Amino acid sequence: MRKSIILILITLTVNTLNAQEVPGKVKNQIIRAVVKIEIPINKTGKQPNGTGFLVSRPLINNSKFRQFFLVTNKHIVGDWNIADGNIVNYYRKVNIFLYTKEVLDDKLFTRKEIDLIDTSGNKISHRLKLHPNPKVDVAIIDITSEINEVNDVSELNLVSFDTSYLLDFIKIHKSKHFGIGDQVFALGYPLGIASKNSSLPIAKSGYLASLPGEEFKVDFPCFNRANKKVDTVVEGKLIIVDGLIVGGNSGGPVILPSGIRFRNDDKSGFQYTKGSQENLVIGIVSSTLGASGINVIYSSDYIKELIEEF
């Protein structure tokens, strides 16, 4: 396990977290891997928003340059719902807020448009991919070119999760110090709440309500595209979290608190990793079951599967 979150700047020096990091269960720097997403104004005239987070990996045969992905939900990029399981109408674009090193117009962020459909009205398939399982609410956008188009990339304070920070579903239960009732954090923009001048997200806490590493099945009453209430079933690599995670958190990462210790499989006996651990991503926020306070989190496995399609 690497000892520092990788800053994935395209042409900049890589910075690392250090021992002087301000104490807390969520490391300060990692929240800059989470970005606010604006979707088109709805019929009520309101500006809806959701959450996304940046994941990166080295480009083939060149570890200096990286490929950037914006991870979010299907329902953030179009009219997907869990009952119908498909998108009929994609949004033409979404806006994301990238962080800057210096203040620009009294703000530490800049707004960037991300096109989702081409001039013919078709999804830009080489850029936007949806998980093939219609019940899995995960979408990924390759935003490498958009970041290159920023006027001065060197001014960006851009952070991402390396793909190695996406924790496999089966590995969660291998931490002998982590299970039902333990705390996790959802990073995002509930009800659009964000830091005023920096657009930084907030961390909402929740607790694992299902046994880590065990697949789950959930009866899910919802409305379909015709606005008819129907019952559907969601099952698979789901993590059930108890906590007040609300609209606007959709598409955000659910992370483990720093300090979780994992057993080293390659050593005999009960040997564990030493030192501070990072905020690993166990999944992505999708939906809340009514007023129950129970939230459905899709495993990071689905994110990794989708990245492999690029």
Query: Which residues, 6 or more positions from 126, have their beta carbon under 8 angstroms from its beta carbon?
Result: 142
Q: Which helix (H) or strand (E) holds 307?
A: helix 300-307
* pLDDT tens digits for range 277-286: 678 999 999 8
Query: Which residues, 6 or more positions from 135, have their beta carbon under 8 angstroms from its beta carbon?
Result: 82, 85, 232, 234, 235, 236
Average pLDDT value for residue range 36-63: 84
* Angstrom distance (rounded) from CA 213 to CA 282: 11
Instruction: Give the alpha-carbon dihedral of 231, 252, 136, 55, to 10 degrees.
Output: 180
* Angstrom distance (rounded) from CA 22 to CA 18: 10
Find tokens 């530490």 and name the residue: 108
Share of the chain above pLDDT 90, in %: 45
* pLDDT tens digits for range 4-36: 433 333 333 233 333 345 567 888 888 999 999
By the 8 A CB rule, do 128 and 115 touch?
A: no
Q: For residue 37, what pLDDT band results from cuts at 50, 70 and 90?
A: very high
DSSP type of residue 169: G
* pLDDT tens digits for range 104-129: 788 889 899 999 999 888 899 999 99
Query: Which residues, 6 or more positions from 269, have their beta carbon under 8 angstroms from its beta carbon?
Result: none
User: The pTM is what?
Assistant: 0.85
* CATH value of 28-307 in 1.10.150.120, 1.50.10.10, 2.40.10.120, 1.10.10.10: 2.40.10.120
Beta 62-72 vs 139-142: how paired, if at all? antiparallel
Continuous H helices in 142-184 = 144-148
* Angstrom distance (rounded) from CA 248 to CA 137: 15
Q: Euclidean distance between the first and final Cα of the chain, in Å?
A: 24
* Angstrom distance (rounded) from CA 37 to CA 258: 26
More confidently predicted of 263 and 46: 46
Least confident window among 82-91, 145-154, 203-212, 291-300: 145-154
Residue 68 reports pLDDT greater than 60: yes
* pLDDT tens digits for range 194-221: 888 889 999 999 999 988 778 888 888 8
